[in-house]
C-alpha cells in the first residue's frame, strides 16, 4: 500500500535554508519507499502561496503576519492568535479538498484539532507526535519567558496542554519521543499498542568524507584539541555547567570549545567565559546552516551533551549525541538522561558522567590523554548509529507502524 501522508508542522517556518528536525526528515524519508509526502508549514510571506515542491515533497504554506513588531511587549502572544485562527481555516480547506490516508500533526494542539475533525469526517488516520512531555511544557516556558509575560504564557500553555491531552485519546497512533516517555504515557492509561517510539535519527551519508581543515583554519584550531557542543544555547539548557567544565579543561590542556548554535543565553555565557578567563578559548559560532554542520563536527575531537536532568528533558532524545557518533567522535554525556544512558551503554561510544562540571572535565581530559581509546569509541559509535538510528532504519519502523493502521 502506498500512503498519502500530510505532515502539519508548526516549526520550522518555510525558507530554502530551513533547519529540519531529524524526526521530520525520518517521516519524510518515506517518499524513498514510494509514499507521497505533503508538508503544511508556516510562511513569513503575507500571501499564501500555491503548493510547490521541495526535494520531492509537496508543500502548502500558511502565512504568518506580524501584526505587532516582534520586539514589542506581548507581540508573540498577540500575533499568534489571529495567525493560528487563519492557519486552522487554511488547513481545514486543504484537508477537505485533498485526499490523504494519514494526517500527521507535530505537537501543536490547534493543528491537531483540525486533523481530529477531518479524521471523523473523511475517515483519515490521525497521527499525533509528541516531541516534549506535555506534563512539563511550562517548565521550559517559565525559564525562557520574561516575567511580565509569564501569566499570559502560563494560561496559553495550560490551554494547549489540556487540548493535547484530549488529542491523545482521538489519535489513531501516538509517536513518542522515547521509550521512557512511552512508559509514562502508558501509566496515563494509553494503550501500549497505540504508541510508537519515534526517537531522533541521522542521515549517515552527511557524515562521510567530510573535510576537517576549513573550520580549523577559520577559527585557528590547527594545534588545539577541540570540544564541541551543538544545539540550542538557551537559558533552559543551563550550559553554565559546560563553560565551568571547560575552564578546568583549558587549565590543563591546549583546548578550545566550539559552541555551535544560538539562543537566549549566549550573552550570559560569554560573560561567564570572560569571568573564568577562557573568553579567548571559547568560540560562539552563532547559528550554522544545516548543510555545514558536518564540517564543524569533523573539526572536533570530543562531542559533549550536557542535558539538565529535569523532568522536561529526562524524556528527550538528544540528536547532538547521534551526530557526534555519526562523525566518529567520542561522546561525553550525563547519565541522568535515559537516552544518554541507554545508547552509550549499548554502543560504548563515549563516557557517561554525573551532571557536574568536574565530571565532564575529567572525562574530556581522559579522552584527550588516550587518543586510541577515543578513536575506538568513535568507531563504535558510528557503527552503532548507522545500524540503529539511520533515517532508513527509523523510516522502516515508522512505515510498519503506519501500515498497521490499515489492517
Taking the CA atoms of 268, 231, 361 and 239 in sequence, report the sign of the dihedral they define: positive
pLDDT of residue 157: 78
340-363 confidence digits (pLDDT tens): 999 999 999 999 999 999 999 999
DSSP H or E run through 283: strand 282-286
Q: Give the pLDDT of residue 72.
A: 72
- CATH for 4-201+391-404 (1.10.1060.10, 1.20.140.10, 3.30.460.80, 3.40.50.2000): 3.40.50.2000
Which positions of the chain have pLDDT values less than 50? none
Listed in order, the ranges of the chain carrying CATH 3.40.50.2000 are: 4-201+391-404, 206-388
Give per-residue pLDDT as tens, 152-165: 777 777 788 888 88
- CA–CA distance, 100 with 9 (Å, rounded to integer): 16
Q: Are the CB atoms for 61 and 43 separated by under 8 Å?
A: yes
Contact 43, 405 (CB under 8 A): no
Query: Phi and psi of 223, rounded to 5°?
Result: -110, 20
Q: What is the pLDDT of residue 233?
A: 96
Query: What is the three-class DSSP state of 77?
Result: helix
CATH code of the domain made up of 206-388: 3.40.50.2000
By C-alpha distance, which of 402, 359, 404 is closest to 103? 402
Task: Quote the pTM value.
Answer: 0.90
Give burial (CB, 10 Å; 0-12/13-18/19+) of 230. buried
* Residue of 57, 128, 35, 25 lying closest to 390 (CA atoms): 25
Amino acid at each position: 500500500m502506498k500512503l498519502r501522508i500530510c505532515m502539519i508542522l508548526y516549526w520550522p517556518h518555510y525558507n530554502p535554508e530551513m533547519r529540519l528536525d531529524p524526526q521530520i526528515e525520518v517521516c519524510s524519508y518515506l517518499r524513498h519507499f514510494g509514499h507521497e509526502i505533503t508538508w503544511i508549514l508556516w510562511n513569513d510571506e503575507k500571501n499564501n502561496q500555491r503548493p510547490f515542491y521541495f526535494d520531492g515533497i509537496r508543500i502548502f504554506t500558511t502565512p504568518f503576519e506580524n501584526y505587532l513588531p516582534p520586539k514589542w511587549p506581548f507581540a508573540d502572544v498577540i500575533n499568534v492568535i489571529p495567525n493560528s485562527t487563519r492557519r486552522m481555516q487554511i488547513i481545514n480547506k486543504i484537508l477537505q479538498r485533498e485526499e490523504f490516508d494519514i494526517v500527521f500533526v507535530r505537537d501543536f494542539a490547534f493543528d491537531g484539532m483540525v486533523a481530529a475533525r477531518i479524521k471523523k469526517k473523511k475517515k483519515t488516520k490521525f497521527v499525533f507526535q509528541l516531541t516534549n512531555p506535555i506534563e512539563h511544557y511550562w517548565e521550559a516556558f517559565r525559564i525562557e519567558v520574561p516575567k511580565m509575560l509569564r501569566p499570559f504564557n502560563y494560561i496559553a500553555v495550560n490551554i494547549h496542554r489540556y487540548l493535547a491531552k484530549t488529542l491523545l485519546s482521538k489519535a489513531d497512533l501516538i509517536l513518542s519521543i522515547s521509550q521512557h516517555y512511552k512508559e509514562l504515557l502508558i501509566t496515563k492509561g494509553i494503550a501500549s499498542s497505540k504508541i510508537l517510539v519515534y526517537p531522533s535519527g541521522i542521515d549517515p551519508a552527511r557524515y562521510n568524507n567530510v573535510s576537517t581543515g576549513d573550520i580549523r583554519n577559520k577559527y585557528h584550531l590547527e594545534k588545539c584539541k577541540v570540544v564541541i557542543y551543538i544545539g540550542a544555547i538557551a537559558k533552559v539548557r543551563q550550559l553554565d555547567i559546560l563553560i565551568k567544565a571547560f575552564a578546568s579543561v583549558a587549565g590543563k590542556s591546549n583546548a578550545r570549545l566550539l559552541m555551535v548554535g544560538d539562543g537566549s543565553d549566549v550573552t550570559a555565557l560569554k560573560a561567564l567565559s570572560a569571568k573564568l578567563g577562557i573568553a579567548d578559548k571559547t568560540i560562539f559560532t552563532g547559528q550554522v546552516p544545516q548543510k555545514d554542520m558536518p564540517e564543524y563536527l569533523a573539526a572536533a575531537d570530543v562531542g559533549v551533551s550536557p542535558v539538565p536532568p529535569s523532568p522536561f528533558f529526562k524524556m528527550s532524545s538528544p540528536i547532538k549525541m547521534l551526530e557526534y557518533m555519526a562523525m566518529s567522535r567520542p561522546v561525553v554525556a550525563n547519565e541522568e538522561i535515559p537516552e544518554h544512558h541507554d545508547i552509550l551503554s549499548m554502543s560504548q561510544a563515549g563516557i557517561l558522567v554525573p551532571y557536574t562540571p568536574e565530571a565532564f572535565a575529567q572525562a574530556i581530559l581522559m579522552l584527550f590523554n588516550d587518543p586510541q581509546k577515543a578513536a575506538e569509541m568513535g568507531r563504535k559509535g558510528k557503527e552503532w548509529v548507522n545500524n540503529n538510528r539511520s533515517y532508513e532504519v527509523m523510516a522502516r519502523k515508522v512505515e510498519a507502524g503506519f501500515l498497521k493502521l490499515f489492517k
